[in-house]
Structure formats: C-alpha cells, structure tokens
Amino acid sequence: MATTPELLPYGRIREDLFRPLSGVSRNYVLATVVAFVIGAAGLVAWGHQLRSGMGVTGLRRPVFWGFYLVNFVFWIGISHAGTLISAILRLTDAAWRKPVTRAAEAITVFALMIGAMFPIIHLGRGWLFYWLFPYPNGRMLWPNFRSPLLWDVTAITTYLTGSVIYLYLPLIPDLAQLAEHRTLWRRTLYRTLSLGWTGSDREWHALERAMKLMAGMILAVAVSVHTVVAWDFAMTVAPMWHSTIFGPYFVTGAIFSGIAALIVVLAALRKILHLEFYLTRHHFNNLAKLLLLMSLLWFYFTMAENLTVWYGNDPGEMAVFAARTRARYAPYFWTMVLLNFVVPLVLLGIRRLRTIRTATIASACVLVGMWLERYLIIVPTLANPRLASASSTYTPSWVELAITAATFAAMVMLYMVFSKLFPIIAVWEFKPHPLEEE
C-alpha cells in the first residue's frame, strides 16, 4: 500500500479526525430525526404490548419465541464485531488495525445494549425482569442457577461491563487531547471523562497494560457469551436445538455477522466523514478476507449440522429439517445459503472482484443472511414439536415489526451521537513515538 495514514503529519491527522466533532450538517439532523421517529414508534409498540399483553404479538402456542429472540441472538452476534476483532488484532499486533478498532468497539457496546433489551421485551411480565438478578429480595429466593437464561444474564452483563471498559480505556488519551475544547459543555465532558490524564510515562504504561489485559479477558468473555446464547437452545430437548455443535456454531455465526456489520459501518463512516485516507482499500481487503474465512467456516458448520440430521433420519428432527429445507421455510433457507455463502464466495473469493464496494455489498448480504439463519434456527423447531398435533405456524405482528425496526434505528442513532461526541478513529494511536519525534 502506497499511502497509509501514518505518513501524514500528526497535526493533520488530529485536524481530520477531530473535525467531525464540530458542526452539524442538515443531513445529520434529518437522519437523526428519522431514526428518532422510528425509535419512538418502537417504544409506542412496546408500551402497547406491556399494556395489552403478549397477545398483540404474533406468538402463539407452540411458537413461544419469535422475532424478539431472533433479534436478541442477531444483535448479540453483531456485538462480536468489535471486541473480538479488535482484541484479536490488538493481541496479534496487527498494524493495520489502528483506524478500525474504535469503530468496532463502539458497535459492540451499542449492539449489546440493544440486544440485551430483547430478553426483557419478550417477557410475559417484562416489568419483573429484575427477578432474574441474584439479589436479596423479599421473596427470599435466589434465581435458578441451573437455568441457561441465568447464564445469559451473567454472561451478558459481564460482557457489557467489559466492553464498555474496553471502549473507554483507549478513549482516555483522546479525551485528554480534547479537554481544551472551545465549547464549555464539551470541555466539561471531556475533562471529566479523561480522569485527569496527563500523558506521563506511568500513565501510558498503566493504560497499555490494562488494554492488553482487557483484550485477553474480553476475548474469553465474548466466546463464552455467544456459547451461552447457543446453549439457551442446545440445552433443551427440542428437535434440532439439542445439538452439541451449537456453541461453536453460534460463535462462528456471531463473528461472521460481526465482521459484516463492521465493514458496513466502516464503509458508511468512510463516505460520510470523508475518511478515505484513513480507511483504505487495504483495511477493507483485510476485513473482506476475514469475512470470507468466516463464511467458509459458517458453511462448514451449517453443512455438518444439517447433514448429520438428514442422515440420522430421526422423525422428530426430520419434521423440522423438512420444514426448513423443503416446505414452508425453504425459500428463507436457500436465500440464507445464497447470501451467507455463495455471494461472499464469489464477490470476495475472486480477487479481481474484491473491492470496497463488493465487500460492502457482500457484508450487507451476510447481515440479512445471518438474521435469517437465527429465524430458521428458532421458529421451525418450535412450530414443529414432537407431538405433531400441536404443530403451528408463526407470522409476526406489527408490534414485533415496529420494535425490530426501532432497534435498527436505535443503532444508527446511538452511533451517530457517538461519532459526534468522540473521535471514531483513535487519534493518539497515530502519534509518533516520542523517540522518533524530532
């Protein structure tokens, strides 16, 4: 690569990356308002559901989990963009990671916040969600630690706490640089959040150590989180849920969709914030190769899962398998295979076709495909229980659709606000080493 941001003078980099923080364009306002309206519509829908009951959803016996759980798994999957990718790149000291990590870590935090809402939204009595927390309560009762849902609560709160710290730590030096900002409220915000960072040797060492430590720990937590999400399904006796490979299968799918989300977000940032010089073909090329690798891995798992079921020919499982591949859900299934495997393989596997644009297109396809994958895992199994007399179908209601749309709007809104408040690329990482400075 001929041009890398490292070759630019540090002053220019600072200017480029701090510029998006000031000034609000008309498009920004417009996008925020649209996102806010969609988000508000979702809140109204949720209010309606809390008031009237879960009957306003499309759920019914035996399909007790629908769009909400699909969204839950999807967003927790997206959250694996950040932390996992940035932690792997940090630990392996990949030099190209610098402009990518913060954007990725921010996705993690917001996707987790959104994903963690769904277990609450899907509850029959959502206002009692805190009964799942282990605290000394009036009922003199601990929650049931044998329940995978409690493992979920534990894993996700740990992950959210960890990734907020992981996002925050490398922000501190940038916040300190911004502490002299012109506007008063920004000055106060940055000064408070920078925790009195002065940039001394001791502070740098402490930060470096803390980040290394967090990168290692967050890696383990991230893997465990999606494994536990998979176990919500795998621990049951339901046909095609009760599968030993679900843990790694879900982790693979999560990283897969996470990288796709990261590529889409980076492409948008590049275009909107004019970061062409910072987010180059080089970055997209590397991420696209990673995406291709995950696509192959995902296909391998999907094949292993479905082939063994088909060959085993267990009647309970075959009912689900047939519904997925040959009957009601077949169009979704084959679309999923197309979007998650064929499209990335062609667009990213053939080097001539691998550009920023095709990487973005393939990533958008993967996001849709991975959402479908979760739908195909959750709904057909529930709709085809072991006693065929109870079989049913599921169509989401407007409430579920509105809440689903609202979460995407919330993601856009949170990300836009974040990129206005904090530099979306870590500026200090481009700072020349003091010894190289003349």
Partner 1 sequence: MERRWGMTIDLDRCTGCQACVVACHAENNLPVSGPVEAAKGRAVHWIRVDRYYEGTFPDVKVKYMPVMCQHCDDAPCEPVCPVYATYHNAEGLNVQVYNRCVGTFYCANNCPYTVRYFNWFEPEWPEPLQLHHNPDVAVRPGGVMEKCTFCIQRIKRTKQDAAQEGRPVVDGDVQPACVQSCPAEAMTFGDLNDPNSKVSRLAESGRATRLLEELGTKPKVIYLQRGK
Q: Is 140 in the site for partner 1 (CB under 8 A)?
A: no
Candidates 27, 144, 198, 200; binder of partner 1 (CB under 8 A) is 144
**Using CB under 8 A, which residues numbered 72 to 101 contact partner 1?**
none
Q: Is 138 in the site for partner 1 (CB under 8 A)?
A: no
Q: Is 396 in the site for partner 1 (CB under 8 A)?
A: no
Q: Is 48 in the site for partner 1 (CB under 8 A)?
A: no
Residue 211: which of 175, 166, 260 has the closest Cα? 166
**Using CB under 8 A, which residues numbered 250 to 309 contact partner 1?**
none
Q: Are 115 and 78 in contact (CB under 8 A)?
A: yes
Q: At what angle do helices 281-312 and 246-272 cross, to 10 degrees?
A: 150
Residue 362: which of 277, 267, 297 has the closest Cα? 267
Three-state SS at 54? helix
Candidates 64, 300, 310, 398; binder of partner 1 (CB under 8 A) is 64
Pick the closer one to partner 1 by CB: 7 or 141. 141
Q: Are 225 and 112 in contact (CB under 8 A)?
A: no
Q: Is 157 in the site for partner 1 (CB under 8 A)?
A: no
- Closest approach, Cβ 198 to partner 1, in A, equals 46
Taking the CA atoms of 177, 179, 180 and 186 in sequence, report the sign of the dihedral they define.
positive
Stretch that binds partner 1, among 87-95, 101-109, 127-135, 166-174 (CB under 8 A): 127-135
- Sequence letter at residue 434: P
Stretch that binds partner 1, among 147-155, 161-169, 255-263, 318-326 (CB under 8 A): 147-155
Three-state SS at 201? helix
Candidates 147, 157, 188, 192; binder of partner 1 (CB under 8 A) is 147
Pick the closer one to partner 1 by CB: 233 or 430. 233
Please give the angle made by the CA atoms of 317, 323 and 328, to the nearest 5 degrees.
165
Q: Is 45 in the site for partner 1 (CB under 8 A)?
A: no
- Sequence letter at residue 291: L
Pick the closer one to partner 1 by CB: 55 or 196. 55
Q: Which residues are registered as beta bridge partners of 60? A: 63
Torsion angle defined by CA atoms of residues 182, 183, 186 and 191, in that order, rounded to the nearest 10 degrees: 50
Helix (H) / strand (E) element for 339: namely none
- Closest approach, Cβ 150 to partner 1, in A, equals 5
Stretch that binds partner 1, among 26-34, 230-238, 360-368, 414-422 (CB under 8 A): 230-238
Pick the closer one to partner 1 by CB: 122 or 354. 122
Which segments of 67-200 does DSSP mark as H helices, in order? Answer: 67-78, 82-91, 101-121, 148-168, 172-178, 184-193
Pick the closer one to partner 1 by CB: 70 or 339. 70
- What phi, psi does 279 have (nearest 5°)? -105, 95
Candidates 77, 344, 380, 385; binder of partner 1 (CB under 8 A) is 385
What's 135's DSSP letter? S
Contact characters 341-380, partner 1, x per CB under 8 A: ----------------------------------------
**Using CB under 8 A, which residues numbered 307 to 336 contact partner 1?**
none
Residue 103, CA distances (Å) to 82, 218, 346 in order: 8, 17, 27
Pick the closer one to partner 1 by CB: 22 or 244. 244
Q: Is 182 in the site for partner 1 (CB under 8 A)?
A: no
Residue 120, CA distances (Å) to 162, 184, 226, 342 in order: 21, 38, 18, 36
Pick the closer one to partner 1 by CB: 154 or 358. 154
> Residue 7 CB: number of other CB atoms within 10 A?
8
Stretch that binds partner 1, among 37-45, 60-68, 93-101, 304-312 (CB under 8 A): 60-68
- Closest approach, Cβ 244 to partner 1, in A, equals 17
Stretch that binds partner 1, among 76-84, 234-242, 289-297, 339-347 (CB under 8 A): 234-242
Residue 16: which of 272, 271, 275 has the closest Cα? 275
Q: Is 398 in the site for partner 1 (CB under 8 A)?
A: no
Stretch that binds partner 1, among 120-128, 252-260, 303-311, 419-427 (CB under 8 A): 120-128
Total residues binding partner 1 (CB under 8 A): 42
CA distance 64 to 263: 34
Q: Are 126 and 430 in contact (CB under 8 A)?
A: no
Helix (H) / strand (E) element for 278: namely none
Candidates 8, 31, 44, 123; binder of partner 1 (CB under 8 A) is 123
Which stretches of the chain bind partner 1, using CB under 8 A? 52-55, 59-62, 64-65, 119, 122-126, 128-129, 131-132, 139, 141, 143-144, 146-150, 153, 232, 235-238, 382, 385-387, 389-390, 392
